Every structure is written in structure tokens, then in C-alpha cells.
């Protein structure tokens, strides 16, 4: 079977090339066809025209019979004027009672061309005109100079008209089928074009979503890590002279945080280069929130945690990542705006609908936090992430100072 396929492949390629060439050079192909038909149907009789009728009338006959064939060169590119010229030539030939020659068989080409490429009204007009013209020509040429018996001639006329009418009908039907096929092909091409445009738009939207996701990830990683590093560096600068041991531990925390952030950024950027190479590295989730708490505690912030209830079912991996990034952003805002000697409380509460995470602080930067986050990527990024999984984010100022931010994330589909 493979050998047959390989053997048939070379024959298919030239056939497609020939078809492509004919499709790309329709006008040239039609002109060559019309020239060939003229050489077969008109050229052999030209010398007889001039010999029998003289130079003037012979030239007029040559032009008239040529008008039955030459316009076929524009049967596809200009079917209406081409068809009208040929029909007019037939009417002149009938009116002058000129003899029927081989060029008159072009009527079948004309009927086909009008049915396939001409407007609908001209298609039907051409068919009816050809049937009527055939009947008139048969009657005229049959009874001109015929004597006595009428019935045999009527039978012959009817038989001849039915015979020619059958060929005209077949020509028209084939042209109409060609028109229908062309419509189907055009419809399929248009549909393929629309699908290609839709796929292109979907790729563009997917790329935009991916860029937004990576931008959010980068913001969360860089903002949180730099906030921790800045807080640790400020602390180390203050205690470096009085307590070098604490300063050394602080610098160690800075190095660890920077390394972890760099590794996470490399993993994130690696998705753009080789997704398969990063598939074994799980995304952070609820289990890694305790690491964020430890990092914040190492920065000198008093952190307490509380867990309420039991989860009914696991959250989707994306929802867990959203919860992790929510806590990370909340801690970043604490380090930026809450001020010194701040206490943070983190609550993870499971209920019948899902998980609610609340991060509250008693710092002095609540107003600044609310304003800065609303204008930047903070709170807006939180809402976007949590909203992707049907969750909501709420914020409020604590009486007496401080800020509270809460995220509710549902379980999703059962």
C-alpha cells in the first residue's frame, strides 16, 4: 500500500500544477480555445466565402461567422457582452438566410457559458433563445422550397428540434451544475478564510491573555521579593553596628529570598521557551502559604495565623495559585505601607462554599495602601486573579488603624 501511495504521488503533483496553471490563466486558456475553434469551424470556409460572394460579401460573412466563435474568448471574464454578441450574430445569420456551418455548433458553448458564468436572467434567456432559434431555423431551412407533403416534414422538424433541444438542455444543465459547484467552492473558501481569521484572533487573544498572566506573575514575584529584600536590608543597616549577628542573619535571609525569587522567575520565563522542561515544577499553592508567613516573620513582622473549618473538596490548581498570589500581594502591601512594629493576622477559613482568606494588619499605612494599590497592579491584580475562579476580593479599613483584605474562592464545579 505504501508503494502504491508513493507511486501515485508523482502523478498527482503534476495534475495539481496543471490545474493551478489553468485556474491562474483563464483568459489565456479561453483565448486559445476560441482561436482553435475558429481554425476548425471558420477558417476552412473563408476561401469559399470570397470565391462565391466576392470580396465585400465574403469579408462580411467571415466577420459574421467569426462573431459566432471569437467572443467565446471572454465567456468567463465577460459572459454578458460575449453572449449578447453571439446571439446577435445568430439573429443576423437567420435574417439573411445564410447557410448553417460548423461554426453554428458554438451555440452549445454559449448556452453552457451563460449558465455557468452569466447572470441568472441571461442564463435563462440564452436557453430559451437558443431553443426558439433552433426551432425557427429548422422550420425555415426545412420548408424553404419544399413541396406537397407536409406531415412527414413536420415529423422531421419535430425530431430535429428535440434532438438539438436535448443537447442544448444538457449544455445548460452542465453549465448550471458548474455554477453550483463554483458557489460551493466559493462558500468553502470563504468559510475557510473566516475560520483562519477566527483562529488568528483566538491566537492573538490567547497570546494577550498569556502576556497578562505573565505580567501578573512577574509583578507578584518581583514586588514581594523586593519588598522583603528592602525591609531586610533596612533592618540590617540599623542593627549592623549594635548586633552584627542579627545583621548577618538578615543578610542571609536577603540572599535566600533573592535566590528563590530568581529561581521562580526562571521557571516562569522557561514556560515561554520550553513548556515541557518546566512541567515537573509544580506551581505554588496553599501549602506554600506557610513559607510566605515565615518569610514575612523573618522580616521582623509579627505574624499570627489561624485555620478554621475543614475543606470539603480540593480547590483547582489555578485557584490555589490565585490564593497564594493573593496572600503574597497582601504581605507585599504590608511591607510597603503598614510601617514599623506592625502585627499581621492571617485567617484561612473553610466553609460550605469554599475558602476565605483574610489578611489584616494594625499598621498606619491603610490609606496609602488603598490608594496606591487601586492605582497600580495590587488590588486590581488580586481581583482579576480571584475573579477568574468565581471569587471576590473585599477591602476595608480597620477602626483605630490598619487594613483588612479578604478573598473568597469557591470550590468550583462538583
pLDDT, one tens digit per residue, over 351-379 is 888 999 999 988 765 444 444 444 445 67
Cα–Cα distance for residue pair 108/133, rounded to 1 Å: 13
pLDDT in tens, 11-44: 555 777 777 777 777 788 888 888 888 888 888 8
Bridge partners of residue 410, in order along the sequence: 354
Cell 468553502 locates to: 188
- The 8-class DSSP code of residue 133 comes to H
Which triple of cell numbers denotes residue 24? 491562474
Cα–Cα distance for residue pair 246/237, rounded to 1 Å: 10
Cα–Cα distance for residue pair 389/302, rounded to 1 Å: 31
Helix, strand, coil share (%) of the chain residues, nearest 5: 75, 10, 20
- Contact present, 134 and 172 (Cβ < 8 Å): no
Angle between helices 26-41 and 106-117 (to 10 degrees): 160
Distances (CA, A) of 291 to 118, 324, 327, 390: 77, 10, 11, 26
- Contact present, 124 and 179 (Cβ < 8 Å): no
**Each residue of 374-391: b (16+ CB within 10 Å) or e?**
eeebbbebbbebbeebeb
Cα–Cα distance for residue pair 50/63, rounded to 1 Å: 12
The residues, ordered by sequence, that sit 6+ positions from 113 with a Cβ below 8 Å of its Cβ are 72, 75, 76, 79, 82, 83, 175
**pLDDT per residue as tens, the chain (414 positions):** 444 444 444 455 577 777 777 777 778 888 888 888 888 888 888 888 777 777 888 788 888 888 888 888 888 888 888 888 888 888 888 778 787 787 878 888 888 888 888 888 888 888 888 888 777 777 766 655 444 444 446 777 788 788 888 888 898 899 889 888 888 888 888 888 888 887 877 777 766 666 666 666 666 666 666 666 777 676 666 666 677 776 677 677 777 777 766 666 666 666 555 444 444 456 788 888 998 888 888 777 889 999 998 888 888 877 888 888 899 888 888 877 777 778 899 999 998 889 999 999 887 654 444 444 444 456 777 888 788 788 899 998 888 788 899 999 998 754
The residues, ordered by sequence, that sit 6+ positions from 111 with a Cβ below 8 Å of its Cβ are 126, 127, 130, 168, 171, 172, 175
Bridge partners of residue 392, in order along the sequence: 408
Cα–Cα distance for residue pair 8/398, rounded to 1 Å: 80
- Show the 3-state SS of 249-291: HHHHHHHHHHHHHHHHHHHHHHHHHCHHHHCCCCCCCHHHHHH
Distances (CA, A) of 286 to 3, 301, 311, 378: 58, 21, 12, 20
pLDDT in tens, 299-317: 778 899 999 988 888 888 7
- Kindly report the pTM of this predicted structure: 0.43
- Show the 3-state SS of 79-131: HHHHHHHHHHHHHHHHHHCCCCCHHHHHHHHHHHHHHHHCCHHHHHHHHHHHH
Cα–Cα distance for residue pair 55/62, rounded to 1 Å: 10
pLDDT of residue 7: 45
Determine whether 318 is exposed, middle or buried from the number of CB atoms within 10 Å of its CB (0-12, 13-18, 19+): middle
Which triple of cell numbers denotes residue 144? 424553404
- Contact present, 89 and 110 (Cβ < 8 Å): no
Amino acid at each position: 500500500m505504501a508503494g502504491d501511495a508513493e507511486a501515485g504521488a508523482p502523478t498527482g503533483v503534476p495534475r495539481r500544477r496543471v490545474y493551478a496553471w489553468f485556474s491562474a490563466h483563464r483568459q489565456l486558456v479561453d483565448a486559445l480555445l476560441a482561436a482553435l475553434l475558429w481554425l476548425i469551424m471558420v477558417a476552412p470556409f473563408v476561401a469559399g466565402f470570397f470565391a462565391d460572394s466576392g470580396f465585400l460579401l465574403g469579408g462580411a460573412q467571415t466577420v459574421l461567422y467569426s462573431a459566432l466563435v471569437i467572443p467565446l474568448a471572454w465567456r468567463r471574464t465577460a459572459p454578458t457582452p460575449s453572449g449578447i454578441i453571439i446571439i446577435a450574430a445568430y439573429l443576423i445569420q437567420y435574417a439573411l438566410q445564410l447557410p448553417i456551418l460548423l461554426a453554428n455548433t458554438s451555440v452549445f458553448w454559449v448556452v453552457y457559458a451563460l449558465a455557468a458564468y452569466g447572470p441568472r436572467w441571461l442564463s435563462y434567456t440564452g436557453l430559451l433563445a437558443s431553443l426558439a432559434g433552433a426551432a425557427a431555423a429548422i422550420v425555415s431551412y426545412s420548408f424553404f422550397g419544399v413541396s406537397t407533403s407536409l406531415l412527414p416534414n413536420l415529423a422531421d422538424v419535430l425530431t430535429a428540434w428535440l434532438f438539438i433541444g436535448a443537447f442544448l438542455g444538457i449544455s445548460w444543465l452542465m453549465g448550471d451544475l458548474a455554477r453550483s459547484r463554483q458557489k460551493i467552492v466559493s462558500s468553502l473558501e470563504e468559510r475557510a478564510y473566516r475560520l483562519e481569521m477566527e483562529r488568528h484572533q483566538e491566537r492573538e487573544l490567547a497570546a494577550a491573555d498569556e502576556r497578562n498572566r505573565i505580567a501578573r506573575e512577574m509583578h507578584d514575584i518581583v514586588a514581594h521579593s523586593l519588598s522583603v529584600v528592602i525591609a531586610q536590608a533596612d533592618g540590617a543597616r540599623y542593627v549592623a553596628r549594635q548586633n552584627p549577628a542579627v545583621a548577618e542573619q538578615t543578610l542571609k535571609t536577603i540572599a535566600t529570598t533573592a535566590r528563590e525569587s530568581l529561581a521562580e522567575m526562571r521557571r516562569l520565563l522557561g514556560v515561554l521557551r520550553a513548556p515541557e522542561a518546566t512541567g515537573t515544577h509544580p506551581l505554588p499553592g496553599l501549602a506554600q502559604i506557610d513559607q510566605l508567613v515565615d518569610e514575612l516573620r523573618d522580616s521582623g513582622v509579627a505574624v499570627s495565623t489561624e485555620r478554621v473549618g475543614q475543606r470539603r473538596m480540593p480547590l483547582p490548581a489555578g485557584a490555589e495559585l490565585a490564593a497564594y498570589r493573593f496572600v503574597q500581594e497582601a504581605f507585599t502591601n504590608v511591607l510597603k505601607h503598614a510601617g514599623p512594629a506592625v502585627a499581621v493576622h492571617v485567617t484561612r477559613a473553610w466553609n460550605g462554599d469554599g475558602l476565605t482568606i483574610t489578611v489584616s494588619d494594625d499598621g498606619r499605612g491603610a490609606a496609602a495602601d488603598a490608594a496606591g494599590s487601586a492605582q497600580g497592579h495590587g488590588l486590581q491584580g488580586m481581583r482579576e486573579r480571584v475573579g477568574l475562579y468565581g471569587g471576590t476580593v473585599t477591602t476595608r479599613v480597620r477602626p483605630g488603624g490598619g487594613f483588612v483584605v479578604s478573598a473568597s474562592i469557591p470550590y468550583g464545579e462538583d
